[in-house]
Structure 1
């Protein structure tokens, strides 16, 4: 994924920005060379697609938190290993809210998939709000 300049201040740092996916890590949902729109935030919940920095390296992955409270960044392509975040210096830079691929746009809205009364935060489901499918 190409890396934007995230340094600086001002309101532009709070506006969504586009990144191009480079590589097969997040296929099939996010194919190589598709464009994603990132909503800047430092918070995420299990199931969200995120742009994160881990030990100074930026990653586009799906954030997961398991029942034991362990946190992971997962590639959708099984050929790429999961990144366990326990003990690492990491932060979320933003969540993916849209994918653009060959003039097809898919929006992501994150909804609670579990009950709020569980001990671990409920996982969320990404929903295509455009009803255009893949």
Structure 2
């Protein structure tokens, strides 16, 4: 049976909903790693681990932040620029929309791979690779 083209696609279906997409960073929240006007590539997913850079929705507002979960289970979204406060997630309605897998600043591309397990790094365990030819 063919789908009526005038009827909207149901939520969670279709190839396009699973494809990576790009967004432009606006503001200094995630500087210096993600400066104002850089472009990030987001891999759609509902799951993340501590230390990942995420695109998330909290109480209906979308944020680009780093997700952190401590040993006590406290979850929060933090900006890399310390002048912006953390968003404490416990007790709030929130969900992950995707994880950042690449950054582009004036054609200089950096990819992000997230390592398994805990890390002693202050912002989690992230391997970043500059793939731009110099």
Task: Note the alpha carbon deviations across 1:36-60, whole angstroms, 9 max, x for none.
Answer: 0000000000000000000000000
CA RMSD of aligned residues (A): 1.8
- For the pair 1:93 / 2:97, whether they are aligned, the reply is yes
Structure 1 unaligned spans of 5+? 1-6, 116-122
Report which of the two structures shows the higher radius of gyration computed on alpha carbons.
2
Give deviations 1:16-67, integer Å, cap 9, x for gaps: 0000000000000000000000000000000000000000000000000011
> What is the count of residue pairs matched by the alignment?
119
Quote how far apart the aligned CAs of 1:126 are.
1.4
Which consecutive aligned stretches of 4+ in structure 1 deviate over 6 angstroms post-superposition? none
Equivalent residues in 2 for 1:27-38, closer than 5 Å: 27-38=31-42
Give me the TM-score of the superposition, normalised by structure 2: 0.83
* Partner Cα distance (2:99, 2:26) in 1: 17
TM-score normalised to structure 1 length: 0.83
1:76 is matched with 80
Ranges in structure 2 where 5+ consecutive residues have no aligned partner: 1-10
- Distance in 2, Cα, partners of 1:75 & 1:62: 6
The corresponding residue for 2:54 is: 50
2:125 maps to 125
